[in-house]
Amino acid sequence: MNSRRRAGPTRRSVLAGGLAAGLLGALPAKAQSGGRWSIRIADGGPGTPISPLIYGSNEIGTMDGGAPSATFDREVGVTARRLGGNLMTTYNWVNNAANSGKDYHHANSPFLLDALGIDRPQWIEPARLIETMHEASLAMGAKSLVTVPLAGYVAADFDGPVPPEASAPSPRFVPTRWDPGAKAGDPVMPAVADIPQLLARLVERYGGADSERGIHAYALDNEPGLWAETHPRVVTAKPTIRAFLERSLAAARAIKRADPAARVFGPVSWGASEMVSFQDAPDWNDYRQHGSFLAAYLDAFRTASEQDGIRLLDALDLHWYPYSNRGDLFRSKDAALATALLEAPRSLTEAGFREDSWVVRALADGGSDREIGLPLLPSLRRIADHVFPGTGLAVTEFNYGGAGQIASGLALADVLGRFGQQGVSFATHWGSLDGSLGEAYRLFRAQDSTGRRFGDRSQAVTVEGTPEVVAYAAAFEDGRPGLQLVVINKSEAPATLDLRFETAAARNCLSVFGFDAANPKTIALTETPINADGGLQVNLPARSARRYGFA
């Protein structure tokens, strides 16, 4: 369970007040009936790799109601799965208890065990929660990312709400320990959550990350800038950057000792204000010269990695949820917010776009090698390349609306396309991949009539027209001939598209499938591009997504 429920009051209080009209981007004009776009595909270039691990999800069990999230993950072909969220900050691997913090009465509970459907006799088995999640990942061929705790204390029991006077240190919590010492086969001590021992046990059971069954990566906790708000029974004062960096480096070293092949993700920041100043940390002025908290974090890990002779951070990990002054977009099923949802992905990649939210006020105008700005992904890439080259980008929580409306599926498909285009290395959606959300994943992950999924090498695409039509192209890393093209029409009117290829006047279309209001499931379609004006022409229904397979 994560804390998107608190996004309204808590995050608005961070940056309160309206935005001047001059800061806001104009809404895209609606395409009229018969709107036309030109799409040019640079299919002759080498392209850039698309990570297979961007089509991931968070393991949340039955938190959304209905079927377990793993059921949807398997059905839509996810490639990566994360065990994270607020509850993992206080998860005790020894007894599988966690404290829910602000999300639910500050209770020590078996909430995670219940959500994953783990039988009560297994609750007492150390690390049963992690093992259950990882074995589900293995069964569907997905990689696992497991969150480990850095806040200092984890739940000691399943005994319900913890009053303020029982805040840690108290019998309701046990301390975490990161010092090396305990081996996998040593007795498990209930008075402390020994994380190196947990790691050793996982490696003993599954092998290292470079083995067929090993855990791929570990995340250094969850949204630490908000610990004092989300977990006040464990973190009673705002954490400092200095203390957090010390804990993070110690944890990364322990992970690399236990499993040198495992990837380390951090700092798992919740959003803009944490990325910039660690939520205005008490010692932010001591780090301000770095330009941003993320730059300071990367610099600390670069320095330590050079000293240790081993890379201690593999991916810059963050969460990114869209916001709008028009309403709450998280899991939204409100048709009145459909346009806002469909616009939201533009903040990830489009220079000059100014979203209608507080985020534009939180971030710099961009362009600096150390300051975070919009569009987000190029900004993060610049910072990582400048401060700690070789660091990947991971977006381990994101959500672009609820499953109940097609706009959410179209927005999510747009986001997945942008992740691939921008070289994101790992991404996991928050929320069960039901309804239109699952269709967004199927658009990329389902096999077409030739047995192919969306390709693994991004090819440049230029779209001439309003931003309501977007397109993403991919070739195949192994050199197989062919090209896949995803096109999304976010307009409320049909769209006519003129396709032009760099290497040929026209390509032979082998398959078409997609989803829209008339076809809510991603299915094979009989639509066929026609030869026109030296290229191909296709017609898309209003608010629809298509994937074309070309020879």
**The three-state (H, E, C) secondary structure of 228-271, written as one string:** HHHCCCCCCCCCCHHHHHHHHHHHHHHHHHHCCCCEEEEEEECC
Token pair for 98: 């966690």
CA 395/CA 167 separation, integer angstroms: 32
Q: What is the pLDDT of residue 34?
A: 55
Phi-psi region of 438 (alpha: psi -120 to 50; beta: other; left: phi over 0): alpha
> Which two tokens mark 313?
């951070």
What is the token pair recorded at 104?
């639910």
> Where in the chain are all domains bearing CATH 3.20.20.80?
52-453
Measure the CA–CA gap between 461 and 276, rounded to whole angstroms.
32
Closest Cα to residue 69, out of 140, 125, 131? Answer: 140
Q: In 320-450, which ranges are continuous DSSP H helix? A: 338-343, 346-349, 359-362, 376-387, 406-422, 435-445
Q: Which two tokens stand for residue 303?
A: 């320095």
Are 391 and 314 in contact, with CB atoms under 8 Å apart?
yes
CATH topology of domain 469-550: Immunoglobulin-like (2.60.40)
Helix 128-139 and helix 69-76: axis angle, to 10°?
20
pLDDT (0 to 100) of residue 366: 62
Torsion 371-240-299-395 (CA) sign? negative
In this structure, the number of other CB atoms found within 10 A of the CB of residue 135 comes to 13
Dist CA 540 CA 495 (whole Å): 5
Q: Rounded to whole angstroms, how far apart are CA atoms 488 and 538?
A: 12
Q: Which residue bears the tokens 């991603």?
A: 522
pLDDT score for 29 = 37
Radius of gyration of the chain (CA): 23
Dist CA 437 CA 521 (whole Å): 10
511 and 527 in contact (C-beta within 8 Å)?
A: no
Give CA–CA dist 356/18, Å, rounded. 10
Residue 396 CB contacts under 8 Å (≥ 6 apart), including other chains = 58, 82, 84, 145, 219, 265, 268, 317, 318, 319, 426, 427, 428
The residue written with tokens 């001059």 in the block is 22
Residue type, 145: L
CB-based burial of residue 38 (10 Å sphere; 0-12 exposed, 13-18 middle, 19+ buried)? middle
Amino acid 16: pLDDT = 23
**What values do phi and psi take at 484, rounded to 5?**
-110, 135
Q: Is the pTM of this model over 0.75?
A: yes
Cα(445)–Cα(447) distance, rounded to whole angstroms?
7
Distances (CA, A) of 301 to 147, 193, 306, 388, 409: 18, 25, 8, 8, 37
331 three-state secondary structure:
coil
Q: Per the structure block, which two tokens stand in for 418?
A: 């942008």
Within the chain, all domains assigned CATH 2.60.40.1180 are found at 469-550
Whole-number pLDDT of residue 24: 28
Are residues 458 and 420 in contact, defined by beta-carbon separation less than 8 angstroms? yes
Q: What is the pLDDT of residue 30?
A: 39
Low-confidence ranges of the chain (pLDDT < 50): 1-33
Q: Which CATH number fits domain 52-453: 3.20.20.80, 3.30.230.10, 3.30.9.10, 3.30.420.40?
A: 3.20.20.80
